[in-house]
Every structure is written in structure tokens, then in C-alpha cells.
Amino acid sequence: MHIELGSTRPENLSTDVLVFGIHGKGGRRSAAWRSLNTAIGGGLERLLRLQSWSGRPGEVVSFPAPAGLRARLVAVCGLGDKGTGVVGAVRDITTKVSALTTKAGLGRVAFYLEPALAVGGSLGRPTVQALGEGIENGSYRFDRHQARGEAPEPSEIDSVYLYFAGRKERPLLAAAIERGAIVGRATNMARDLVNEPANMINPATLEAFARKLAEDRGLGITVLDRDACAERGMGAFLAVGRGASVPPRLVHLHYKPAGKIRKTVALVGKAVTFDSGGLCLKPAASQATMKMDMGGSAAVIGAIAAAADLALDVEVHAIFAACENMTGADAYHTGDVVTAANGKTIEVLNTDAEGRLTLADALHYAGGLEPDLIVDLATLTGAVVVGLGPTIGGIMGTGRSLVRDLRAAGDRAGEPMWELPLPDEYKELLKSKVADLANIGGRWGGAITAGLFLSEFVDKGMPWAHIDIAGPAFLDKPIGGRAYGATGYPVRALTEWLAYS
């Protein structure tokens, strides 16, 4: 992708789509806007009114470029009120513009966002990075299993122009766009993995994907097959995989920076490539999207890919215990007592609360690497979706500053997280009559009791955060300009956190 910053006036620039960011409904416009208006003989404001322009942040209206311009389309976009944070608006705008550009088979976009970018004298790195992210995320489509029919072949964006008067800042801003594009592509990688159905992505093909990634990016990779997991006593994880014909395995990817290492983090992702519920079978409608139940692993794969591509100075371990939760003849039974790798015994009161069993052993494995911090990501509970809805993740943990930093990174990256408490008192809810722990905590506070269950497998004193991504990993209907299907949540937040916390 060719990235250029410059100060060519919009009427003189040869591009496919001219994008204007404006503040509010009416009021004072930028010099670029006024010169465009003059070039086309006036009437831009009237055009906006005809399109019922409201000025809301993230709003996009587009129309064929009037005569006198060297572009094909003009897109006018809402930046929100002047002086307010524009990072979210810029991400939404570029995502939408990228979608409409590539759908039309066009490839060159030019952004005139100067009123926003001039706020505070300079545009922030996160804002410009969001532009790069939006470009990549907006052109994403998952149509490889569909006949194209009459629809034209969609294009990709190959050229981005950003109007920016200050010369000194241009290289930095171009680099920020490039960073955003890298993060956007890592997000799309995670989306592909999650969107791909369970007959395509299973523990074996997910391992193969990780091996290929390791080769391409120069990452270390260790895979524990079923026997190796058994030797390490991973009885909780292996129990879940017993009902499936593809055997379970634990995959550990390792990114080691070339230079000085600022910190070492372990990212653990839930990797249930299909969750039927096991013998406590889910109803059909609930099974329909359970290919997404490896969204945690997709997120850690995307994050480690981005860390390597950006050559971050943070050592990253990405770990996932991959299995299918099925109902084969050897499936684990409801009521089974299994022993996790840390020696704790668990009574399986519900085979559909399987994610926490796989994570118990994966978290213990991560602890053995002695990282500075552990973060796990999991499509763990329906309860978190009831509580927080489709776009916000639930974060819990023992590391106070870790939780704070992740939330701040999530806000900058447009992937918000809301903290839920881990009250000691609720541990009583996980009591079993026959084992150290039960794998369910009753009807209430399901996301919290799941988090408390996981905390039993992280050593005291280890800063740890758990992000329940069951809502935002996959959208069963579009919201806020985000498309149907896998979102890649929270690859952008994780990468932002790795790079800047």
C-alpha cells in the first residue's frame, strides 16, 4: 500500500475517493473544503442537506464527484464536535470509506481531515494509526465459500493520501498509518480464523496455521500432542477433547525481540474449535455460531503476528489448548472428576462449561514460563453477553495496573472493556461435594464465577487478567458500522497494550 502525505489541494489531486472530515452540522469549514466548493462552482452544503447530513461522528455520505475534480467519488464524514477525541470517529469513517471504495472496485483514497487533525496543534498517533486500521478492516470480506455471481470483483486499497500541511510531522504520521495497516491485517487474520467453520478449522488445522505463521514470522513454536499433555497431567483440558475424533493439542508460539526485552507476557486463548456443549448439548440455535469458540486463540495469534511485524520490544508467548467439545463415545461425562495440571480436582457438573477446563491447564502451563504478566482471552460465558452486550468485553483480574492498562488500550483501539469484580465470597459458589472445585457456579454472576474458577489456576502474586470476549468476538448482526461475523476483537487492543503500556 502506497502511503503519501502532502498538501495538494483536493481539486488538484488525482484519486478515486476524496474524503472530507467535517465537524458538526454547519459552521466554519476548513480551507480545503472551501477550495473544493469553489472548484465545483459551489453547492456542497446544499448537497449535504439533500443527503440529510446530521453531523454525527462516524457518519458518511458519498456522492459521485462533481465535474471539475480529478476524483470519482466524494465522501463527507462526521468527525464529531470540535475538540473532542476523534480517534473513534476516524476509525469508523475510514472503515466505512474503505468498504465503499473496495466494493466499487476502486483503490485510491485521499483524506482531508485537517480540522480534526489540527486539534491541539497536532494529530495524535492513535488517531492516524486508526486510519490505517480502518483501511484494512473496512475492506475485509469473508466470501471465499460463495459464488460471486454478477457482483464485480472487489478491489483492495493500494494508495492512501493524507492531507497534512506540516512537513516535519509527515514521516511520523506515514509510519503511524503503516502501523495501523499492520494491526488491521493482524485483525483480519483473526477474523478469518474465527469465520472459518469448524469443518475447516479444527485442532489439527489450527496447529498447521500456527506452524505456518511461525515459519513466516520467525517465531518459536512448541506443540504438545495428547500424550505430552497427559504426561504433564493436563487432565482437565484432555477431558474436554475426549468426545472428538480430532485429538487435542496445546500450541505455544514464542516471539522474542531481537534487542532489549522490556517485559515478557503470556497470552492464553481459548481454542475450542467447536462447542457442541458436549453431553450437556446446546440447542441447535446456540450451536450455530460455536465455530467462534476459538476466538481467544485467534486473538493471541493475531496479537503475536502484529508484535512480530511491528518488531515490538516485548517478549510474547501465545498459548492455546485446542480441542473440540463433542459427544463421541469417549466423551467426558457429566459428574466426572478430573485432575488439572496443578493438582486440583474438578467435578464436571456441566460439560458445556468446558472453556474454563481447557484454560485451567493452559494457564498453568503459561505460569510455568514465568512471564511478568498473564492475560487470557476467551469466549467463555453467555452471561457476559447478557451483562455487557455485543461490543464490550468483560475484564477481570488480579493485576490492578494490568487491568487499567488493558482498558485504556482498549479505549484507544476502539475495543472497550468493562471491569467485573472477583469477590472472594463468590468462591463458595464453586464448591463441590466431591472435588476441590465444581466447574459451574450456579445461575447468577456466571461471568464472575467463571473468572474466579480460572483464578484457581494462576499462582498467587502473578498479575493476571481475563477478558471474556463472548460478546464482541463475533457479531450475529451488524452494529455501529461493524460488519456481521468475526471482529478480531481484541487484537487491536492487545497490540496497543503491548506496544504502549
Question: Which residue number, 207 or 275, has a Cβ lying nearer to Mn ion?
Answer: 275
Phi, psi at residue 108, to the nearest 5°? -115, 130
Q: Of 275, 336, 415, 456, which one interacts with Zn ion (CB under 5 A)?
A: 275
What is the spatial distance between Cα 185 and Cα 183, in angstroms, rounded to a whole number? 5
What is the spatial distance between Cα 393 and Cα 395, in angstroms, rounded to a whole number? 6
Q: Of 381, 455, 487, 495, which one interacts with ligand BES (CB under 6 A)?
A: 381
What is the spatial distance between Cα 131 and Cα 177, in angstroms, rounded to a whole number? 6
Question: Which residue number, 409 or 430, has a Cβ lying nearer to ligand BES?
Answer: 430
What is the spatial distance between Cα 416 and Cα 393, in angstroms, rounded to a whole number? 7
Q: Which helix (H) or strand (E) holds 50?
A: helix 44-50
Query: Which position's Cβ is nearest ligand BES?
Result: 382
Q: Choose one: 7-15, 65-73, 243-251, 377-385; the region binding ligand BES (CB under 6 A).
A: 377-385
Nearest-approach distance from CB 323 to Mn ion, in angstroms: 12
Per CB under 6 A, which of residues 286..315 are in contact with ligand BES?
Answer: 293
Q: Of 78, 355, 441, 463, which one interacts with Zn ion (CB under 5 A)?
A: 355
Q: Choose one: 70-78, 203-211, 358-366, 376-384; the region binding ligand BES (CB under 6 A).
A: 376-384
Give the residue numbers annotated as catalytic, written as ranges: 282, 356
- Cβ–Cβ contacts within 10 Å for residue 238, how many? 25
- Under DSSP, is residue 437 helix (H, G, I), strand (E, B) or coil? strand
Tell me: does residue 468 bind Zn ion (CB under 5 A). Answer: no
What is the spatial distance between Cα 185 and Cα 305, in angstroms, rounded to a whole number? 9
Question: Which residue number, 89 or 292, has a Cβ lying nearer to Zn ion?
Answer: 292
Please give the size of the binding site for ligand BES, defined by CB under 6 A.
Answer: 16
What is the spatial distance between Cα 394 and Cα 384, in angstroms, rounded to a whole number? 6
Task: Tell me the one-letter amino acid at 203.
Answer: P
Q: Of 275, 315, 361, 496, which one interacts with ligand BES (CB under 6 A)?
A: 275
Q: Which helix (H) or strand (E) holds 241?
A: helix 235-241
How do beta strands 345-347 and 437-438 pair?
Answer: parallel
Q: Choose one: 89-97, 228-236, 267-275, 316-324; the region binding Zn ion (CB under 5 A).
A: 267-275
HSE of 472, CA atoms in CB hemisphere, 13 A: 25
Tell me: does residue 468 bind Mn ion (CB under 5 A). Answer: no
Q: Choose one: 266-274, 308-316, 393-401, 456-464; the region binding Zn ion (CB under 5 A).
A: 266-274
Per the listing, cell 483440558 goes with 237
Tell me: does residue 361 bind Mn ion (CB under 5 A). Answer: no
Please give the size of the binding site for Zn ion, defined by CB under 5 A.
Answer: 4
Cβ pair 75, 44 in contact under 8 A: no
382 binding partner (options Mn ion, ligand BES, Zn ion, none; Cβ < 5 to 8 Å by kind): ligand BES
Tell me: does residue 275 bind Mn ion (CB under 5 A). Answer: yes
Show the 3-state SS of 416-448: CEEECCCCHHHHHHHCCCCCCEECCCCCCCHHH
* Contacts with ligand BES, residue ranges (CB under 6 A): 275, 293, 350, 352-355, 379-383, 385, 440, 446, 470
* Contacts with Zn ion, residue ranges (CB under 5 A): 272, 275, 293, 355
